Amino acid sequence: MKLQRYLLLLTCIMPFFFSGNIQAAPPAKSGLSMGDAINKAGRQRMLSQRIVKAYVLVGRKVMLSAKMQLTDSVALFEKQLAELTDFAATEEERKTIAEITRLWKKYKALATAKPSKEKAVELAAMSDEVLAKTHKFVLLLEDRSGSSAGKLVNISGRQRMLSQRIAKFYVLRSWGLDNPEYEVGQNKAVTEFTEALKLLQAAPENTSEINDALKKVEEDWNTFKISKQLKGGNYIPSLVVRSLDEILTQMNYITALYANIAR
């Protein structure tokens, strides 16, 4: 069981280091099952926020891994966009994925340019547009799946996004960009994560493995809520980002477990 858990966790986190492909049995020309498609579509939401976070950290010269994280996140978004384009089956799905593609071209160009505070504000605003469109696509897939397991993949996948959305707002504020909307957005994301975590913990579809993993997330979440406090009025982005990235890794693993149920 420990070996199986290790292998699944390794499969889940590989996309964050290089553009590896998480494949399932190939029922469609894209090679994705519905569970895998919802998982990857949900990961696009997360990447929309993670890209801004990494961009700001590169601009601030905080965390040596930020540059690689930004490069890998852009590459993974583009790779999955191609897979999901192939998977889209209904007229509304194809229309939505085309809208995401058009928006992505502008977003990618901005994200891969030299970071600046002014461009960070523009990138953050555009990230919300990408998030809205990718979320719509997830909901369309969830509707097509018609299963409670598909809904759990969506909710769990959204937790990944919220971890990076919280980090995005935190690092923007730490760069001196004190837009009141950033604090409001961060607080809202914290509330939504807490509520969704309780919902997942109560899901009757949960296996013992999922429950154990959710317990670990709860422990890490409580640690984050302590680490995010300001020390002497100063932001501590490195500590907060590491804490949220640990939660991201765990939620990515849990989402893969739900995706297996949804196949």
Average pLDDT, the chain: 87
pLDDT at 177 over 80: yes
Burial class (CB in 10 A: 0-12, 13-18, 19+), 246: middle
pLDDT digits (tens, 9 = 90+) for 4-15: 554 455 455 445
pLDDT band for position 28 (cuts 50, 70, 90): very low
Which amino acid, 103?
A: L
The 10s digit of each residue's pLDDT in 38-90 is 999 999 999 999 999 999 999 999 888 999 999 999 999 999 999 999 999 99
Q: Which segment of 94-108, 140-154, 230-244 scores lowest on mean pLDDT?
A: 230-244
Contacts (Cβ under 8 Å, ≥6 apart) of 106: 126
Beta-carbon neighbour count of residue 95 at 10 Å? Answer: 14
